[in-house]
Structure 1
Amino acid sequence: MFKKIWSLFKTQPELVSPLTDSVAASALPPVTAIPPRLARSRRKKKKSEPDWISTPQEPTTAELLLGLPSEYKVLNDLLVTNPKSRSGYSQIDHVVIGPRAIFVIETRNLTTGEIRGGRREANWSVSSSRVKMYNPLMQHRAHVEAIQAHLGDYKRVRLVSMVTFTNRCRISVDPAVRYVNSDEMIIYDHELVETIQRKTERLETELPETLYQEQDTQAIWNMLNTVNSTDHQIRAEHMAKAKGIK
């Protein structure tokens, strides 16, 4: 009887003690855990792009205007007196003096949204903003008038108003201001140089007698360059008074 009971104990599987289990586990190769900080840095490295495929910086308007032929004279960032303005000055982004006209240019750096508005509407809408935009052509007229006031004997020169937007937004405005037959235009910045040249060609066809020689364009350039205020204090005061308006 005793032998039978003893045989039953012998047939039971051996239980693994906690000590035996830990020893067996230690025999396995260790799993190397990545520290959380290092894991995050690795993920960031995957997302980053090498320098040679990074997006190139877009040229500024001043750089784009360098592509015009030599008969065009360019002035950038002018600050001229204007008794009608709040600060007593008007700041004009760019002026291009050509053989047929003077192009007064304002640049807008809007990067998103669709711009909608009519030529005679005071306020335009931008889909990416709840705030209405004051018609930039109406706003830019004060700049054009300020330039004309400083032309001396050349006040009869044709003045063309141009407002540019980046191609990252969408222009859906009155078609009348998108064509070169207008003296007030809304265009994309990458169209600027081509539009100036096309407008010059059109004026040459319409009014062939209005041709200004190099000495004339240089005289206008000198005149506007002379009235341009470069005083840092005057510019700072103008910016402070004109804050919120262009």
Structure 2
Amino acid sequence: MFKKILSLFKTQPELANQITASASALPSTTTIPPRMVRSKRKKKAEGDWTRQPEEPSTADQLIGLPSQYKVLNDLLVTNPKSRSGYSQIDHVVIGPRAIFVIETRNLTTGEIRGGRREANWSVSSSRVKMYNPLMQHRAHVEAIHAHLGDYKRVRLVSMVTFTNRCRISVDPAVRYVNSDELIIYDHELVETIQRKTERLETEVPETVFQEKDIQAIYALLSSVNSTDPQIRSEHMEKAKGIK
């Protein structure tokens, strides 16, 4: 009887060895390292489906105007009053009631504050004051006016656009279409041009420009636009820090 009991104790190590061997033969359940998981997520986040559509440029937006409007982009015309001898105008739209002279500002953050007659405006995201863009843009409007030949009596509307990523908190007088100097968001541009045209139609019911007149003004401004790369390069160098 004693020998049988003793034999049971002797077989325990062998049983333990069998259990250990069986455990080592099981498939591994090691957790995937966090680095591998992160790399997969990163790769997924960089897929094409996550890309945001690019915002249309001002030139692209102006294509949406009705066919009676003529558009000129990136004009460089002579201006003896400027530092470089030229003025560079971002966009000009020739419509049936007026010519719209447009400058685009790429400010993307901050709140813009200022009055119509104040020389300097503030931007909350910068300690540096902004020179009143309407006052600055007047030189561009005057440069266009100087090249209109027989059409100098045309109505000129000055427009300065900002991106909708900043906030415009300026004099309300320059936010309404009854003004000939306007500060607007870039996405409002096409609508504002059309609304301004409609307003001028009620003020001056007779047609100011026939199609031939619009085409003549377009040809005039196209002819004075300097496309010489050297002249443009020199203008950019001299005009640094102005805009």
TM-score (norm 1): 0.86
Query: Within 1, Cα distance between the matches of 2:18 and 2:76?
Result: 87
Structural RMSD (CA): 2.9
**Whole-angstrom CA distance in 2 between matches of 1:22 and 1:81:** 92
1:237 aligned residue: 234
**1:179 aligned partner, one-letter code:** Y
How many residue pairs get aligned? The number is 241
Determine which of 25, 40, 60 is the counterpart of 2:38.
40
Task: State the secondary structure of the residue aligned to 2:241.
Answer: coil
Question: CA 1:134 to 1:23, structure 2 compared with 1: closer, same or farther past 3 Å?
Answer: farther
Equivalent position SS for 2:87: strand
175-184 vs 118-127, which moves further: 118-127
Identity of aligned pairs, percent?
80
Separation in structure 1 between the aligned mates of residue 19 and residue 166 of structure 2, nearest angstrom: 67
Q: Summarize the alignment of residues 1-246 of structure 1 with structure 2, pairs less than 5 Å apart.
A: 26-32=24-30, 34=32, 38-48=36-46, 50-51=48-49, 54-209=51-206, 211-246=208-243
Deviations 1:75-99 (Å, cap 9, x if unpaired)?
0000001111111110000000111
Q: Which runs of 5+ in 2 are unaligned?
A: none
Q: Which amino acid aligns with 1:194?
A: E
Partner deviation per Cα, 1:170-204 (whole Å, 9 max, x = no partner): 11100000011100000111111111111111112
Cα deviation, residue 55, structure 1: 2.0
| TM-score of the aligned structures, taking structure 2 as reference length | 0.87
